């Protein structure tokens, strides 16, 4: 896990060396073990290293092929590097690193090497003989890669901070992306919150050469589902899932440094811990957060798993004072504004302080195995034909009456839903993921016409596939919420402490398999029944049947008391955004303070974060 930077097709090579130095410095937290820069007439590459595999200096980057043709900076991990290394037996390896295997594979197979790679990565590979630069991002978008153009030059980095540090980008808000943020508390790739800075899409690469810059897709989630799974028996499906997940866990345990696992006591993290214990020759090190407040505390469930699998368990007791003390640093570590993230910052901080450099996480389990309420809700709506046949005027009246009698975020969404022309997946999923409604955004934003809904566009593409309904919802989750919130937050908050996080549920072979499974095996059942039955007796009944809590904190109370003055100060900073109606921002804040159930903390907090981020990064 590292940070990469680079400049292609620049005019003044000497000037670019200084810029790469600034970019590397901005990403020092991502790689405290080594720093490197390399340059030729057309490309300058920079790297910050967090050594996980082959911790010797021979693994430092930028790395070069023995014949001097290929040069690479790599962020992430190639999990099947041992298997590929055996296939490349004629290569003259000088290190034990996975990065060198990536370069050798490219030298042998060219871009077709990507089909053989299993991992999370973002890398830049310069073919000096052909004069072509390849920028590549992994299939599920676990690792980030940002880029921007400055005249004929292209600059790229693992973080927005790297590109901002280069000084070649105007620090201006992307107005279209701003509306996206207001709607969903995030910005969906390829856009970013900064004008003219883009994010490379998952499963894509940029090919930069004499003919310019070309986008290529080498893996598409919406076309990746395996059709042959539909013909399998339930037993074959479950054994296939167990085998693929076990293989995924084993590959992600490959490291030359101490590692562990995040353990909440939920189904996903418990499954990962159990599968790790099954193949580990020593106790798995696990980490969980505990609270004094029972309504937020999941530690009893984590303890069950820790005892069952005899892990070396670390409890991170989080008091309100300790969390609030860490909050400013957590927000300052945020590379791209998000409505979430500080929770991961705290867990990563303690995990890294315990001597761990890599941890496995259960991220992706909910998206893949229908763990969120949205799966059940959309299925129920699709089955309510009587409601869909009701005249639209009657539905609108019913929705308005509900919102008036029981004002809340939920009733507002139901009212909007009943006003819509249809209640199918295409129309309901975007609404389920909304933070602010179109009405609220229009009151906040001075422009009357809102840009196209990014999530709606994704849903249209998902709806057009052959996938079963549950898999369409999974695809929507894994194209919107997963990469643009969960994975981006996990990357920026863990890397703030130089901690690598690996996600076994996001092995692309497992994803392809599960997307092909029919709805009859996925839902409606007990929570994630397909996953738990595939694991046999691995998990205790108490874990399978426990209520889903999620990692929640008493934000509403804090924002009205301990954080009140701090939040107000950040909201005032939003006056720098000219198109945002500040009087409406403060009206929403006051509605929240007086307990209006239509204005929850989760609708205000993203604006607080945005104000802090804009001020810290001097963006206008």
Cα radius of gyration rounded to whole Å, the chain: 24
CA 64 to chain centre: 30
Tell me the C-alpha distance between 48 and 318, whole Å. Answer: 31
Residue 197: φ, ψ to 5°? -105, 130
Sequence-ordered list of residues with C-beta below 8 angstroms from that of 12, at least 6 positions apart, any chain: none
Tell me the C-alpha distance between 116 and 139, whole Å. Answer: 12
Sequence-ordered list of residues with C-beta below 8 angstroms from that of 137, at least 6 positions apart, any chain: 121, 122, 143, 144, 145, 200, 201, 202, 203, 204, 205
Of the residues 2, 208, 370, 459, only one is catalytic, namely 2
Sequence-ordered list of residues with C-beta below 8 angstroms from that of 40, at least 6 positions apart, any chain: 71, 126, 128
Tell me the C-alpha distance between 50 and 60, whole Å. Answer: 9
Instruction: State the CB neighbour count (10 A cutoff) for residue 445.
Output: 20
Residue 285: φ, ψ to 5°? -90, 120
**Nearest CA among 600, 588, 617, 613 for reference residue 181:** 613
DSSP one-letter code for 485: I
Tell me the C-alpha distance between 261 and 511, whole Å. Answer: 21
Concerning whether 459 is annotated as a catalytic residue, the answer is no
DSSP 493-548: HHHTTT-EEE-GGG-HHHHHHHHTS-HHHHSSSSTTHHHHHHTTTSS-HHHHTSPP
Catalytic residues: 2
């Amino acid at each position: 896990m590292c940070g990469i930077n680079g400049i292609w097709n620049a005019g003044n090579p000497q000037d670019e060396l200084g810029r790469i130095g600034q970019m590397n410095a901005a990403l020092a937290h991502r790689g405290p073990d080594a720093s490197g820069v390399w340059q030729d007439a057309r490309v300058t590459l920079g790297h910050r290293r967090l050594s996980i595999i082959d911790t010797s200096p021979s693994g430092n980057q930028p790395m070069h092929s023995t014949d001097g043709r290929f040069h690479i900076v790599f962020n992430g991990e190639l999990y099947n590097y041992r298997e590929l290394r055996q296939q490349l037996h004629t290569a003259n390896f000088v290190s034990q690193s996975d990065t060198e295997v990536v370069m050798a594979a490219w030298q042998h197979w060219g871009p077709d090497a990507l089909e053989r790679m299993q991992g999370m990565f973002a890398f830049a590979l310069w073919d000096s003989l052909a004069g072509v630069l390849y920028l590549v991002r992994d299939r599920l978008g676990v690792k980030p890669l940002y880029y921007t153009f400055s005249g004929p030059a292209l600059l790229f980095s693992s973080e927005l901070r790297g590109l901002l540090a280069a000084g070649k980008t105007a620090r201006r808000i992307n107005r279209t992306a701003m509306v996206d943020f207001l709607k969903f508390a995030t910005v969906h790739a390829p856009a970013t919150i900064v004008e003219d800075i883009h994010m490379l899409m998952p499963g894509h690469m940029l090919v930069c050469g004499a003919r310019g810059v070309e986008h290529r897709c080498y893996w598409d989630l919406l076309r990746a589902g395996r059709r042959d799974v539909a013909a399998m028996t339930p037993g074959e499906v479950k054994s296939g899932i167990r085998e693929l997940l076990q293989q995924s866990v084993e590959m992600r345990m490959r490291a030359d440094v101490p590692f562990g696992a995040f353990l909440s006591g939920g189904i996903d993290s418990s499954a990962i811990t159990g599968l790790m214990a099954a193949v580990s020759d020593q106790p798995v090190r696990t980490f969980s957060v505990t609270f004094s407040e029972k309504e937020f505390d999941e530690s009893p469930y984590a303890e069950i798993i820790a005892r069952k699998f005899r892990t070396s368990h670390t409890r991170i007791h989080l008091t309100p004072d300790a969390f609030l003390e860490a909050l400013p640093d957590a927000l300052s570590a945020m590379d791209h504004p998000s409505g979430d993230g500080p929770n991961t910052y705290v867990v990563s901080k303690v995990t890294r302080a315990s001597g761990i450099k890599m941890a496995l996480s259960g991220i992706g389990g909910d998206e893949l195995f229908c763990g969120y309420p949205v799966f059940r809700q959309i299925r129920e709506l699709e089955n309510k034909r009587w409601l869909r046949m009701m005249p639209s005027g009657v539905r609108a009246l019913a929705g308005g009456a509900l919102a008036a009698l029981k004002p809340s975020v939920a009733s507002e969404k139901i009212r909007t839903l009943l006003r819509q022309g249809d209640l199918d997946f295409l129309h309901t999923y975007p609404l389920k993921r909304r933070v602010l409604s179109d009405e609220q955004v229009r009151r906040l934003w001075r422009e009357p016409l809102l840009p196209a809904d990014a999530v709606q566009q994704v849903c249209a593409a998902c709806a057009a596939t052959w996938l079963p309904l549950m898999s369409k919802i999974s695809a929507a989750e894994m194209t919107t919420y997963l990469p643009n919130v969960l994975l981006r937050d996990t990357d920026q908050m863990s890397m703030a402490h130089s901690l690598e996080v690996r996600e076994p549920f996001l092995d692309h072979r497992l994803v392809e398999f599960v997307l092909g499974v029919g709805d009859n095996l996925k839902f409606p059942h007990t929570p994630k029944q397909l996953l738990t039955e595939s694991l046999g007796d691995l998990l205790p009944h108490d874990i399978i049947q426990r209520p889903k809590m999620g990692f929640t904190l008493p934000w509403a109370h804090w924002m009205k008391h301990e954080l009140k003055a701090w939040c107000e100060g950040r909201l005032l900073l939003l006056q720098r955004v000219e198109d945002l109606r500040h009087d409406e921002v403060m009206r929403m804040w006051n509605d929240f303070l007086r307990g209006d159930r239509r204005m929850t903390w989760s609708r205000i907090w993203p604006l607080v974060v945005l104000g802090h981020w804009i001020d810290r990064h001097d963006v206008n």
